[in-house]
Amino acid sequence: MQALQRTTVRGPTFIRLLARLTAVEAGASGPSLPDRLSRWLDWTHAIALSTALDGRTPPAPEDVPAFDSREEAECARARATLVKAIEGARELAPRAANRSGTAEMLADFAPFRQRYLTLQRSMQGTTGQLRGRLRDMLAQVSPSTARLAEVDAVMEMALSPREQKLLATVPAVLGDHFDRLRRAGEAEAASVEGTVPSQDSWLDRFRGDMRSVLLAELDVRFQPVEALLAALRTR
């Protein structure tokens, strides 16, 4: 009943997943996207964006290969590699011996957190490299695509720090979710006389939730790459 009474969160899958995993009510809708952008872009970014839109674009880098199916295939391979790494995170089964030193083992969130941070760094590094390479290719096609590449570079410079700051909070959200599932599992086991507490059920659920969040974050991080690919395909 409590879950049914919670406010429905609208938006990208990534945001809806995180909202579902939290124990707090979603707040009212904030300012519109243009209003938010006006607050996120300071005057130096505004000048750079204005120059990219209205001024002369910088010369295209030299010795940049032309875009073809091989580059698109490389982007697909890079994404598939990250998906495989995310799938591998499901195999984590962290255990720590209890104070009595008996065979009983207790789950620990720390390995999950470290795994998430490692995967975030991999996603950031991979998408950053792909985005830069595709921009260089786009800059060679025509003046209009060169302007688009420059706008993308300015927006990445302006918004990437805020994006990374927000994404850095995701492990904490998962940590709280981990603790709630563990407490619920322990309470359920304690409510049944003679039941031996088992971690398998709630840990499997947590692994599935963590996988879903990672895949949704990967989609978010690949959006600029997909947009640049779409621009190159039309040329």
Helix axes 69-88, 200-233, angle to 10 degrees: 170
Please list the pLDDT of the chain residue by residue as tens digits (235 residues).
Answer: 344 344 454 568 898 899 999 865 555 556 666 677 777 777 677 777 777 777 666 666 666 677 788 889 999 999 999 999 999 866 665 554 444 443 344 578 999 999 999 999 999 999 999 999 999 999 888 888 888 999 999 889 888 998 999 999 999 999 999 999 998 888 887 776 555 555 568 899 999 999 999 999 999 999 999 999 999 988 6
pLDDT per residue as tens digits for the range 126-157: 999 999 999 999 988 888 888 899 999 988 98
What's the pLDDT score for residue 214? 96
Tokens of 186: 């322990």
Return d(Cα 24, Cα 21) in angstroms, integer: 9
Show Cβ contacts of residue 200 under 8 Å, excluding neighbours closer than 6 positions: none
Question: Which of 53, 123, 111, 54 lies closest to 85, judged by CA?
Answer: 123
DSSP string over 32-55: -HHHHHHHHS-HHHHHHHHHHHHS
First-to-last C-alpha distance (Å) of the chain:
53
- Spacing of C-alpha 188 from chain mean position: 32
Query: Tokens standing for 209?
Result: 């939730």
Of 155, 150, 128, 127, nearest in space to 139 by CA: 150
97 strand-pairing partners: 105
- The answer to whether 92 touches 115, Cβ cutoff 8 Å, is yes
**3-class SS of residue 11:** coil
193 to 29, 165, 188, 203, 231: CA distances (angstroms): 46, 46, 10, 22, 63
The C-alpha atoms of residue 167 and residue 37 are separated, in whole angstroms, by 18
Q: How many residues does the chain have?
A: 235
Alpha-carbon distance 164 to 162, whole Å? Answer: 6
Note the pLDDT of residue 196.
53
Give the model's pLDDT for residue 96. 43
Q: According to the model, what pLDDT value does residue 60 have?
A: 60
Q: Residue 146 and residue 134: Cα distance in Å, rounded?
A: 11
Other CB atoms within 10 Å distance of the CB of residue 200: 9
User: What pLDDT does residue 5 have?
Assistant: 45
Distance separating alpha carbons of residues 154 and 54, to the nearest angstrom: 13
Show the tokens assigned to 70.
Answer: 């091989």
